[in-house]
Structure 1
């Protein structure tokens, strides 16, 4: 057996033990897509925490935070620290009385509970609309009818909320709007465990295998 094959055999034998002996990875590693349309990054800390992000042209599409561990030839990712994404929501109360008109009272806030003045409160089908005051309050007065309609609450830079209701009742709504970001809302990953098969860990690169058994080169950026 010549020296080249001896060295190759020794390298293949000791590689799993080198990976196994290494307990942590540190730094920001990036994996661009072949087309350049998407990129995936993982930021490893020496304390065993990772931050994952998958991005496209319009910004972040998926993200997650958790703990990681090295197990011989693979990295195990536990997405156990991601905070769930808060969405716009509303609370409502309703009642009926013998009056000819019904009222829709709406209080508009952001997710932190701050009032949103000048929010649009309207029923598109009837062209009936009002804007909220400085305290985030607005009110629509409608003819009492036994029919279904839809109330819309919107403001520039925030998600729009649509609420179906029956026009024979009075309603009081407390609406919380989430700030809108460029692109679709990113999807958080939580309570999930993934593994990444390692071929080699170099100084500024991690070479892995994807699910199709193709090599991927993660390059260290920081």
Structure 2
């Protein structure tokens, strides 16, 4: 009888060990991605919370290029990142005002006024159109006063314009209908990169320690302490 109890106790302990090794693990803290090759001009940072959520930011010498957030699942052999399915709204502000026409005309004018959202000062901005036939691509750049205009044939067609700045501000697409002349005031927000969303990324895990997660492909996530900005 005692031998049976010992065997049962041993089996229970083994079962608990198996459950513990297969149980969901959690991360907490700041990590940066190490590709195994030293890149001085690009980075990818992750912030993991114990509640199973994460945020990430990637970029280079010119500033942020991408960001994302979502939930993660860490086990002994994999790290799965499930990015948010929803795309964030743009942070820039756009105000569109139609201009009444004093006489019949077969053309319209889009008058753009760019300013920095935080300071409300005029800034240089670019309005571009891209086509499958790249020879048809076109764009116009606002001067230091933040103003530029496009003249079009009047109609009822929706056209997509890409709005961006070369000085670290958000870029986005804007749909406009050429049915009337318009004043388009655009307050550009600071660039935080292109959002990664509705995507699942899986890493095969080779080894997990307090400071490093080693992936089966040779890459690593290395824990670090962010600098405190004064």
Shorter-normalised TM range = 0.5 to 0.7
Q: What's the C-alpha RMSD, in Å, of the aligned pairs? A: 4.8
Normalised by the size of structure 2, how large is the TM-score?
Answer: 0.54
Q: Matched residues in 1 for 2:29 and 2:123: separation?
A: 44
Unaligned runs of 5+ in 2: 1-16, 126-142, 155-162, 226-230
Per the alignment, residue 201 of structure 1 pairs with 208
Cα distance change, pair 201–90 in 1 and its aligned pair in 2 (3 A): same
- Mapping for residues 12-23 of structure 1, pairs under 5 Å: 20-23=22-25
| Residue 70 of structure 1: how far off its partner (Å) | 2.4
Cα distance change, pair 56–62 in 1 and its aligned pair in 2 (3 A): same
Per the alignment, residue 35 of structure 1 pairs with 38
Q: Matched residues in 2 for 1:130 and 1:36: separation?
A: 35
SS in 1 for 2:219: strand
Of 81, 84, 87, 1:80 maps to 84
Contact 2:85 2:199 survives alignment (8 Å): no
| Residue 56 of structure 1: how far off its partner (Å) | 1.5
Cα distance change, pair 220–94 in 1 and its aligned pair in 2 (3 A): same
Contact 2:108 2:180 survives alignment (8 Å): yes
Q: Matched residues in 2 for 1:106 and 1:130: separation?
A: 15
Superimposed CA distance per residue, residues 66-96 of structure 1 (whole angstroms, 9 cap, x where no aligned partner): 1111245212211117762615645242543
Cα distance change, pair 204–173 in 1 and its aligned pair in 2 (3 A): same
Which shifted more, 18-27 or 53-62? Answer: 18-27
- Mapping for residues 14-163 of structure 1, pairs under 5 Å: 20-33=22-35, 34-37=37-40, 38-80=42-84, 84=88, 86=90, 89=94, 91-98=96-103, 116=120
Q: Matched residues in 2 for 1:163 and 1:207: separation?
A: 45
How many residues matched? 178
Normalised by the size of structure 1, how large is the TM-score?
Answer: 0.56
Q: Matched residues in 1 for 2:224 and 2:63: separation?
A: 19
Per the alignment, residue 188 of structure 2 pairs with 178
SS in 1 for 2:25: coil
Q: Matched residues in 1 for 2:54 and 2:144: separation?
A: 47
Q: Matched residues in 2 for 1:39 and 1:120: separation?
A: 28
